[in-house]
Amino acid sequence: MKNSIGQICDSASNLPDNLVKEFGILKIPFYITFDDVNFYRHNIDISDEEFFKRMEKNPKKIPKTAAPNINDWYERYEKSYKNGNKDIIVTTISPQLSGSFQNANIAKKQFLEKYKDSNIEVINSKSCTCGQAALEISIAKMIKNNFKYETVVKKAKETLNTMNTLFSVKTLKYMKEGGRIGGATAFLGKIINIKPIAEFVEGEVKAVKAVRGRKNSLNTMTKIALLRIKEPKNLIICTREALCKNDENYIIELLKESFDDIKIYSGTLGAVIGAHSGPGSIGIGFVECAI
């Protein structure tokens, strides 16, 4: 019997198109602007590669992002419902980072007033990018394995407790402009080549460790991730990169030295988070979920 659970996510996790197609996920794009006049839909009107190249070419023009609006969410709910999915599970970037979660909930309330036989669970990933993606893949696998709706919701929320989202940036410039760090820290990083390793905790950026040099930051970030993994057999792990594919391949090889049979879901970091971290950013995210 086909499971009639619909899955919708915002584009902050930047799930690759092949996974979106494989699992039948509806992805809703953020909006991106470089001038506050022209807005582009993420990965529809502008690709991530084009986005990061524009950042490199115009380093003084810091791009901005805007969350999917209420109408965007409502339309996705309606599309999923008309596809035969009365039960819908939604995941969004942390509300500390964007209004996507809030808009999804407002749209949910409006939608359920009309479609009273539907159920919608909006889950705050408390993260973004590779950690959010790992959560969404775990949900997709549960749906594919015909778990009941209530079970998927319960296990997804439990899975949040195992989430880790680690990242490192090539330059502190964009985090400074986005208000994530102070000017003094950014200046210090430029002078002595500090490459901070940070993570998302309850939707906020927290420093983990500061190291010198790019290679050292990749090694240290991967080591931290490996030390935090408790149940490898339940692991869903994602990597994300912004114009630094060779660095991503390097950390994937490091991960596979410890888990040679593990599937690693790689991909582009995406403009939603890249606007605040810049080209050269790289991350590792994972959850542990018995599926």
119 with 182, same domain: the answer is no
34 with 150, same domain: the answer is yes
Domain end (from 157, 172, 205): 157
Rounded to an integer, what distance in angstroms lies between the CA atom of residue 40 and that of residue 147?
Answer: 37
**Domain total for the chain?**
2
111 with 179, same domain: the answer is no
Its pTM surpasses 0.85: yes
176 with 273, same domain: the answer is yes
152 with 202, same domain: the answer is no
230 with 280, same domain: the answer is yes
Residue 249 amino acid letter: N
Tokens 């749209």 correspond to 107
221 with 103, same domain: the answer is no
Contact at 8 Å (CB) between 159 and 135? yes
Residues in a beta bridge with 166: 199, 284
Which of 72, 96, 79 is CA-nearest to residue 10? Answer: 72
153 with 9, same domain: the answer is yes
142 with 166, same domain: the answer is no
Those residues whose C-beta lies under 8 Å from the C-beta of residue 130, and which sit 6 or more positions away, are: 13, 165, 167, 238, 239, 240, 267, 283, 284, 285, 286
Domain end (from 142, 157, 172): 157
Domain that holds residue 14: 5-157
188 pLDDT higher than 50? no
pLDDT confidence bin for 175, thresholds 50/70/90 = low
Domain end (from 126, 157, 188): 157
Give the residue-averaged pLDDT of 120-132: 96
Structure tokens at 133: 């993606």
* Residues belonging to the chain: 291
190 with 140, same domain: the answer is no
Q: Which pLDDT belongs to residue 23?
A: 97
Give the residue-averaged pLDDT of 4-26: 96
Q: What is the pLDDT of residues 227-277, one digit of tens each?
A: 999 999 999 999 999 999 999 999 999 999 998 788 999 999 999 999 888
pLDDT confidence bin for 171, thresholds 50/70/90 = confident
- DSSP code of residue 95: T
Which of 175, 167, 173 is CA-nearest to residue 197? Answer: 167
Give the residue-averaged pLDDT of 90-100: 96
205 with 233, same domain: the answer is yes
12 with 145, same domain: the answer is yes
CATH code, domain carrying 267? 3.30.1180.10
CATH code, domain carrying 24? 3.40.50.10170
